[in-house]
Chain A
Amino acid sequence: MRDWNSITYDRYLDHYKLSVPVGLGILDISRDIDSEFVRKRSFDMTFWMTNQSLKMGYGTYRGFNDKVEDILEESLSKGDQICIIQCQGMMSLRLAHIISTSVNYFKNNPDKFVIGHIMARKGRYPGIHRQMLIVNLKVWEKLGKPPYLEQGFFWDRKREYCNFEVSENKIAAEYTPDWIGPKEGTSKFDNTEDGANWVHLALSNGIVIENLNLEMRECKCFLYPYEDTAQLEKVWNNLQQEEEVDKLTNYSARTWMRKLAYQEFIEKDRVYAFNTERLSADGVRSDGPVDHLFSAAAGFKPLALLRNNKFHEGTTVHYFDWCRASLDFKKHILETWDGYDFHKWLLENDGKYNLSSTYRGNYEEFWRLELTKEFGSADQFKELWDRYRKLEHHFHVIDIVSEPEKLFNIINQTAGNRVLWTTNIWASMQLHWNVEIDDLEQKWLKFQSLIPEDLAIYGQDYLARDIQRRVRHKLDYTHPRYVSTNKYVQQWG
């Protein structure tokens, strides 16, 4: 899986709007996962991935079901043109990219039926792996809304399916061709892959099926939660136990866990020199000028918030973070940087910090981006920085998820126009990986209950939705609960 840069990529993605409605569903494969823990957590995390797209307006959630055709029917009935179904356990960090690529693909290929991982192993009729199915709903409807049949084994009732040819070029393995197309005639098969009936139907209608391209593949990582499930459960909350992580036999799951383990390891002293979200997109929310800003210690967003909401010489700024390094970094900049050429300051000082999403080669690029896209010019920034530096700055080590009272005790000791920015702390992947979403919701509700009436709020709730909108408009968003639709799981667990 490619390491996309969240500063240059995520930050501006919500600028682009989809040209057609897209449904996003999650395929319930709980029956095949022999652990209630892994079932639930893999569903929750796949929803987290899906939600990253939903929050940007990239698609609408169409539910969790063990039948592909039920999700497609739901999606079609709600007016979607494309439906993307991911298995629970799919870690599609860049699903938005897959969505936009798929929209373009079907725009250019309106008669194509489906994009998926083609599985063409010897001795079996080929199919499409259930981990991700990207379906053109119009063609699915035209083909008679075929159900997606699971892999089959037949000794008497062999399947008579359309002959096929596959591309010479293969993608990940010998059995994963670029495309599969029709050939004259039919043959009988006693073994069929998942979705073999879709392949047969497509080929019978002269439709070639294409595989996900490499770029799309790099946007995701499937945990194969039905393989090595006990080990997956063991390491889920013990990512730092390298030996246990290395015991995972599935390459894809092992890769993901190693990546997460590394992220978790560096997170403890991680510093965000730049923000992964836009600085001014949320507009003005305070009657202003701001008397007190309570801010996560990350990037230059606090400056943008003060500039947009106005501030005065007596404004105080309170930074909070669970990580001491972030606060030290902020303090260090305030004490030593003159407001010009931040990239040079970083080059001189970066040895002391573990900077997120940046490396020496892109400091200058990111800094230029900050100036041109967010602050206008170097001089405009410098003027703002000089005013900002002179304010009274306070630094607090607080984990707002576990000890929100600490933050609100400080906030409640102040009066006047107050602004709080929590960034995406509540919606972060690491937090959701480690804390079960139902517990996280309770923690969030506690946090929400402590928010004073007159506080202007920026940031995201635990579902990555705007806090201000949620709290002030009293919107009770909640997350979908994990409930398997599989009849066996419902009956026997």
Chain B
Amino acid sequence: MDNAHKEILEKYWSENSKPIEYRYPDFFDPKWTVMESGWPCFKLSIFDNQPWKEMHKEAEQLIDSFHPHREDYGYGWKSLTIHGLDEDTQSLGQYGNDRNKTLDELEWTWVADKCPTVKKFLTDVWPAEFLNRVRFMLLEPGGYILPHQDRPDSQKRLSVCNISLNNPEGCEFLFKGHGKVPFSDQGSAFLMDISNVHSVWNRSNTPRLHMIIHYELGHRIRDFFYVLRSSYYTNRGAK
């Protein structure tokens, strides 16, 4: 590992390795939860019993097909696109100015055909009308993603969904100033506010496989709110 990177990561970990604190209002308010809570992530507990292990197997069998990702600030970080322009789809903003044209061209890739459980989750369970880019993200043993933020502070809100298909002990995702995302090795889904600085470091001997969903709610706002509300009360404890 690059010494400078190691120094950054160790300092970041010493400062941010703590549980994230939540304070829940008595009643669920979707707008507050997504836009105003300031929470760096929110567990979609309603999905706790999804067949994550099946999905992990489907992703794992394709591990040799993954493409290196953001090598400028990551190491051992790879991706494979399930829904996008092709199996190695980058940020949609990188495909020219005509965003609508890019959106129109989004499709299931061959990866989806190899991963029926994943595809079924995305079509039947995931509460959004449109899928944008959906990818498996691999972080190899010893791999890391240096602290960065994907959106400016002005776009502070819970947005993309990050799902751990596994999360081996020793692999951690930390939000600066907030703490460690409690991903489960058995599978777990979180909405993330990626306007917060975050970093991941896999200090295990096992590849870590996650899935990241970018989406547009469209006409399924109420489905989304249902998922949020159910998860909110589960996360908070008894009503």
Interface residues of A (CB under 8 A from B): 31-32, 34, 149-157, 192, 230, 487-488, 492
CB < 8 Å A-B pair total: 49
Partner pick for B222 among A31, A157, A492, CB 8 A cutoff: A31
CA of A345 to CA of B95, assembled, Å: 89
Decide if B100 touches A153 in the complex (CB within 8 Å).
no
Decide if B99 touches A492 in the complex (CB within 8 Å).
no
Q: How far is the CB of A269 from chain B (nearest CB, A)?
A: 39
Given contacts A230-B239, A488-B227, contact A156 B222 (CB under 8 A): no
CA of A152 to CA of B223, assembled, Å: 11
Decide if A153 touches B223 in the complex (CB within 8 Å).
no
B130 within 8 Å of A by Cβ?
yes
B62 within 8 Å of A by Cβ?
no
Binding-face segment, B70-78, B144-152, B211-219:
B211-219
Decide if B103 touches A156 in the complex (CB within 8 Å).
yes
Size of interface on B: residues with Cβ below 8 Å to A: 26
26 contacts between A and B (CB under 8 A): A31-B222, A31-B226, A32-B222, A32-B225, A32-B226, A34-B229, A34-B233, A150-B221, A150-B222, A151-B219, A152-B219, A153-B217, A153-B218, A154-B216, A156-B100, A156-B132, A157-B103, A157-B130, A157-B216, A157-B218, A192-B219, A230-B27, A230-B239, A488-B127, A488-B226, A492-B230
Decide if A156 touches B223 in the complex (CB within 8 Å).
no
Q: How far is the CB of B94 from chain A (nearest CB, A)?
A: 15
Which residues on the B side are within 8 Å of A32 (C-beta)?
222, 225-226
B99, B226, B239 — most chain A CB neighbours (10 Å): B226
Which residues on the A side are within 8 Å of B227 (C-beta)?
488
CA of A31 to CA of B220, assembled, Å: 12
Q: How far is the CB of B206 from chain A (nearest CB, A)?
A: 31
B20 within 8 Å of A by Cβ?
no
Decide if B229 touches A152 in the complex (CB within 8 Å).
no
Q: How far is the CB of B184 from chain A (nearest CB, A)?
A: 18
Decide if A149 touches B230 in the complex (CB within 8 Å).
no
Which residues on the A side are within 8 Å of B216 (C-beta)?
154-157
Q: Which residues of B in the span 23-67 have a Cβ within 8 Å of any Cβ on A?
A: 27-28, 46
Known A32-B226, A152-B217; further 18 A-B contacts with Cβ < 8 A: A31-B226, A32-B225, A150-B219, A150-B220, A150-B221, A150-B222, A151-B219, A152-B218, A153-B218, A154-B216, A154-B217, A154-B218, A156-B100, A156-B103, A157-B218, A192-B219, A230-B27, A492-B46
Which residues on the A side are within 8 Å of B129 (C-beta)?
152
Decide if B230 touches A153 in the complex (CB within 8 Å).
no
CA of A150 to CA of B222, assembled, Å: 8
Decide if A31 touches B223 in the complex (CB within 8 Å).
yes
Q: How far is the CB of B99 from chain A (nearest CB, A)?
A: 6
Q: How far is the CB of A159 from chain B (nearest CB, A)?
A: 9
Q: How far is the CB of B63 from chain A (nearest CB, A)?
A: 31
Q: How far is the CB of A65 from chain B (nearest CB, A)?
A: 15
Which residues on the A side are within 8 Å of B219 (C-beta)?
149-152, 192
Q: How far is the CB of B154 from chain A (nearest CB, A)?
A: 14
Decide if A152 touches B46 in the complex (CB within 8 Å).
no
Of chain B, the residue at the smallest CB distance from A32 is B222
